[in-house]
Chain A
Amino acid sequence: DTAVSQTPKYLVTQMGNDKSIKCEQNLGHDTMYWYKQDSKKFLKIMFSYNNKELIINETVPNRFSPKSPDKAHLNLHINSLELGDSAVYFCASSQYIPGGNTEAFFGQGTRLTVV
Chain B
Amino acid sequence: AQSVAQPEDQVNVAEGNPLTVKCTYSVSGNPYLFWYVQYPNRGLQFLLKYITGDNLVKGSYGFEAEFNKSQTSFHLKKPSALVSDSALYFCAVRGSSSNTGKLIFGQGTTLQVKP
Interface, chain A (partner B; CB < 8 A): 4, 31, 33, 40-45, 48, 50, 55-56, 90, 92, 94, 96, 98-109
Contacts and interface: CB of A to CB of B under 8 A. Distances in A.
Contact of B51 (A31, A92, A101): A101
B82 interface: no
Interface stretch (B15-23, B71-79, B90-98): B90-98
A90 B103 CA distance: 13
Given A41-B88, A42-B108, A99-B96, A48 B44 contact: no
A47 B57 CA distance: 30
Given A41-B108, A103-B49, A48 B102 contact: yes
Contacts of A101: 32, 49, 51, 94, 96
A45 B103 contact: yes
Contact of A98 (B36, B42, B99, B102): B99
Contacts of A94: 101
B108 A55 contact: no
Contacts of B90: 43
B42 A108 contact: yes
Contacts of B95: 100
Interface in B22-57: 32, 34, 36, 38, 41-46, 49, 51
A104 B46 CA distance: 8
A5 to B, nearest CB: 10
Given A41-B108, A96-B101, A104-B103, A90 B32 contact: no
B67 interface: no
Contacts of B36: 106
A3 to B, nearest CB: 10
A94 B36 CA distance: 14
